[in-house]
Amino acid sequence: MSNHVIIFDTTLRDGEQSPGASMNQAEKLRLAYQLEKLRVDVIEAGFPAASKGDFEAVKLIAEKIRNCQIAALARANKQDIDRAWEAVKGAANPRIHTFIATSDIHLKHKLKMTREEVVQAAVEAVRRARTYTENVEFSTEDGSRTDIEFMCRILEAVIKAGAATVNIPDTVGYAMPQEYGMFIKSIMEGVPHIDKVIVSVHCHDDLGLAVANTLAGIHNGARQAEVTINGIGERAGNASLEEVVMALRTRQDWADFTTRIDVEQIYPSSRLVSMITGMVVQPNKAIVGANAFAHEAGIHQDGVLKHQTTYEIMRPTDIGLKSNAMVLGKHSGRHALKARIENLGYELSEEQLNYLFTDFKELADKKKEILDEDIEALIAERILRIPDRYKLLYLNVISGTVAVPTATVQIEADGQQLQGAGFGVGPIDATFNTIKNMVGTRAELVRFSVSAITGGMDAQGEVMVRLQENGFVALGRGTDPDIITASAKAFINGLNRLSYFKENPVTTVEL
Question: Footprint of Zn ion on this chain (CB under 5 A)?
Answer: 14, 511
Q: What is the β-pairing status of strands 136-141 and 94-101?
A: parallel
Which H or E element spans position 472? strand 472-480
Would you say 174 and 182 are in contact if contact means Cβ atoms under 8 Å apart?
no
The least CB distance from residue 10 to Zn ion, in Å, is 7
**Other CB atoms within 10 A of residue 270 CB:** 26
* 16 or 374: CB nearest Zn ion: 16
DSSP class of 23: -
The least CB distance from residue 14 to Zn ion, in Å, is 4
CA distances from 398 to 427, 449, 481, 482 (A): 7, 21, 17, 14
**Cα distance between residue 434 and residue 254, in whole Å:** 59
Dihedral, CA of residue 350, residue 353, residue 355 and residue 359, to nearest 10: -160
The least CB distance from residue 477 to Zn ion, in Å, is 25
* 273 or 511: CB nearest Zn ion: 511
The least CB distance from residue 37 to Zn ion, in Å, is 24
* 8 or 85: CB nearest Zn ion: 8
CA distances from 186 to 164, 211, 220, 242 (A): 19, 20, 9, 28
* 18 or 269: CB nearest Zn ion: 18
Which residue is nearest to Zn ion, using beta carbons? Answer: 14
The least CB distance from residue 324 to Zn ion, in Å, is 36
The least CB distance from residue 54 to Zn ion, in Å, is 16
What's the residue count for the chain? 511
**Cα distance between residue 48 and residue 58, in whole Å:** 7
* 13 or 28: CB nearest Zn ion: 13
* 243 or 374: CB nearest Zn ion: 243
The least CB distance from residue 203 to Zn ion, in Å, is 8
CA distances from 403 to 328, 395, 398, 424, 486 (A): 38, 17, 7, 11, 21
* 439 or 511: CB nearest Zn ion: 511
